[in-house]
Amino acid sequence: PVSATQSNVILVTGGSGLVGSALRYVVEHETADSTYGKRKGEEWIFLSSSECDLRDIQQTRKVFNKYRPKEVIHLAARVGGLFANMSSQQTFLRDNLLMNDSVLQVSHEIRVKKVVSCLSTCVFPDQVTYPLTEEKIHLGQPHSSNFGYSHAKRLIDIQNHAYHDQFGDQFTSVIPTNVFGPGDNYNLQSAHVIPGLIHKCYLAKKNQTPFVVFGSGKPLRQFIYSRDLAKLFIWVLREYKEIDPIILSVAEEDEVPIKEVANAIIEAMNFRGPVEYDTSKADGQYRKPASNSKLTKLMKESGTKHFEFTPFKTALEESVEWFLESYDNGAR
Ligand code: NDP
């Protein structure tokens, strides 16, 4: 068989998802001389679950042998909202364990040079001191609402260290904060806060009803635009040398109150009706900031030009534009 080191393929699992489609966009739109563009000779392959069910290691072997990737960005995961997680802990645990095991084991077998996998800030301990930093992931139990998903994700970091320790494999992981962008999940039952509010505002405008935002609008969150996250993934693939995870986030001072999110959506949607804050609904935690100081320090040291995050308003407008163009009136 051809050695993986001879190929120039970068394989992206979960290539059809929110983050995967942003990676495809960045690779296709950035120029080859930019840090984030597709380099000469590189071939990027974006996998979806229809080509391979990564829970099955035989199917995974087959598809990895077909493409012989030099490097892998592993995004595929079973992700879901609060209700889905709470009612199916075992499915979230097992599906993610199986996918991660197949991808890492097969990458090891065919000697992939680097794998970058994806954790999430929700895998941090429930009881933790803020801001979140990389070394706090394993310091206590995750929140009980998604313990299946969280433990499977945390294990990626353990697997990465075990493969490195025993075989020298260069497997690492990143921890993004809340992602939003074109191609998001806009299903009202399972959507995250931004796509959920975009959808609700769209329906309020269409039905001439009030735009109801759950909670007081006061909690603060760090949001990362999927296309910014995609660029940071490419930086990690090219420049980051550690096995330990790295948080990919805007700065702590760039937290946004939910009220500001709602206002930006109202503006982007050109919604003129009444807005209500339903304070009978829980606010959740007031803030859960993550530090991006490791990222900024290492980017600087690697000689990468200062990273400009897309202004929140612009990113939101682009997401709303995508929703209005692509959304099939609530079918998704
Ligand atoms: P999406 O739900 O948008 O996409 C999930 C991807 O995984 C899809 O491409 C899907 O393929 C694929 N997938 C799911 N099950 C399987 C399977 N059994 N075999 C093969 N592929 C499968 O997720 P995101 O893009 O939002 O998330 C990407 C990564 O980022 C995940 O690892 C997630 O945990 C992480 N993350 C996401 C955050 C967010 O706010 N969205 C925050 C922090 C981390 P298909 O669609 O073809 O079925």
The DSSP letter of residue 4 is: G
CB 72 within 8 A of CB 10: yes
The pair of three-digit structure tokens given for residue 28, joined into one six-digit string: 């296709």
Contacts of 87 (CB under 8 A, 6+ apart): none
The pair of three-digit structure tokens given for residue 105, joined into one six-digit string: 């084991």
Separation of CA 245 and ligand 1 centre (Å): 18
CB 82 within 8 A of CB 145: yes
pLDDT tens, position by position, 115-139: 999 999 999 999 999 999 999 999 9
Q: Indicate if ligand 1 lies below 6 Å from the C-beta of 23.
A: no
Separation of CA 23 and ligand 1 centre (Å): 13
Separation of CA 14 and ligand 1 centre (Å): 5
Separation of CA 49 and ligand 1 centre (Å): 10
pLDDT tens, position by position, 190-224: 889 999 999 999 999 999 999 999 999 999 999 99
Catalytic residue among 36, 67, 130, 149: 149
Protein residue closest via CA to atom 1 of ligand 1 = 17
Confidence of residue 58 (pLDDT cuts 50, 70, 90): very high
Q: Indicate if ligand 1 lies below 6 Å from the C-beta of 146.
A: no
- Ligand 1 mutation pick, 11, 18, 21, max ligand atoms within 8 A of CB: 18
Looking at the chain, which runs of residues are DSSP E strands? 9-13, 43-46, 71-74, 114-118, 171-176, 178-180, 211-214, 220-221, 223-225, 246-248, 256-257, 275-278
CATH topology (fold) of 4-180+223-251+289-307:
Rossmann fold (3.40.50)
Is 286 annotated as catalytic? no
| Residue at 266: amino acid letter | I
Q: What is the mean pLDDT of residues 37-56?
A: 95
Closest ligand 1 atom number to CA of residue 20: 25
In whole angstroms, what is the distance from residue 231 CA to residue 306 CA? 13
Query: What's the complex ipTM?
Result: 0.99
The pair of three-digit structure tokens given for residue 246, joined into one six-digit string: 């790295």
Pairing verdict, β 256-257 and 220-221: antiparallel
What mean pLDDT is reported for the chain? 94
CB 220 within 8 A of CB 286: yes
CB 198 within 8 A of CB 270: no
Confidence (pLDDT) at 125: 96
